């Protein structure tokens, strides 16, 4: 995993919600921002992968944004936001394995056919007898 933390910058704002006198004075909410397209730590292919998988978290200017207002400490919120961003990027770079097509086993086919026969028999028994 590339350490792109030097490219992340932070914006702070006042956190919402309860918090007493502290909430109206101190900017404790931290927003981590990272310009994906300009990163020197990832290849073009990796950047494209990040942009497609995290497209809903990237704003119109191309910044990946992660907010945090979990604690009353601005420093802790910055740390948490940075960790969340790194985890998101790491997760987005994982390529899913290709699915191998498989065929049902002989036993599975026989089981399916047996159950179909049983269902058919059950429905046949429900019919009114033919009196002709």
Q: For 75-117, what is each residue's pLDDT tens digit?
A: 999 999 999 999 999 998 888 889 999 999 999 999 999 999 9
Q: Which residue has the higher pLDDT, 79 or 23?
A: 79
Count the helices and strands in the chain (H runs, E runs). 3, 3
Position 132 pLDDT exceeds 80? no
Quick one: pLDDT at residue 19? 61
Burial 104-130, CB ≥16 within 10 A → b, else e: eeeeeeeeeeeeeeeeeeeeeeeeeee
Say how many CA atoms lie within 13 Å of 111 toward its Cβ.
5
Q: Which of 1-10, 16-25, 105-114 has the highest mean pLDDT?
A: 105-114
Quick one: pLDDT at residue 50? 87
Helix (H) or strand (E) holding 92: helix 74-92
In CATH terms, 5-92 corresponds, of 3.30.160.20, 3.40.50.1860, 3.40.50.1000, 3.40.50.920, to 3.30.160.20
- 3-class state of residue 111 by DSSP: helix
* Whole-number Å distance between alpha carbons of 88 and 85: 5
Quick one: pLDDT at residue 18? 65
Domain boundaries, the chain: 5-92
**Cβ neighbours for 82, distance < 8 A, ≥ 6 positions apart:** 5, 8, 32
19: DSSP letter: -
Quick one: pLDDT at residue 79? 93
């Amino acid at each position: 995993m590339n350490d792109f933390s030097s490219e992340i910058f932070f914006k702070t704002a006042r956190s919402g919600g309860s918090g007493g006198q502290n909430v109206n004075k101190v900017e404790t909410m931290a927003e981590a921002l990272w310009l994906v397209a300009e990163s020197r730590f990832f290849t073009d292919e990796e950047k494209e992968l990040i942009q497609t998988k995290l497209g809903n978290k990237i704003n119109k200017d191309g910044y990946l944004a992660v907010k945090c207002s979990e604690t009353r400490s601005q420093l802790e919120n910055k740390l948490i936001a940075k960790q969340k961003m790194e985890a998101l990027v790491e997760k987005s770079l994982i390529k899913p394995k290709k699915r191998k097509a498989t065929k049902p086993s002989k036993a599975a086919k026989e089981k399916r056919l047996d159950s179909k026969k049983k269902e058919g028999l059950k429905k046949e028994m429900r019919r009114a007898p033919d009196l002709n």
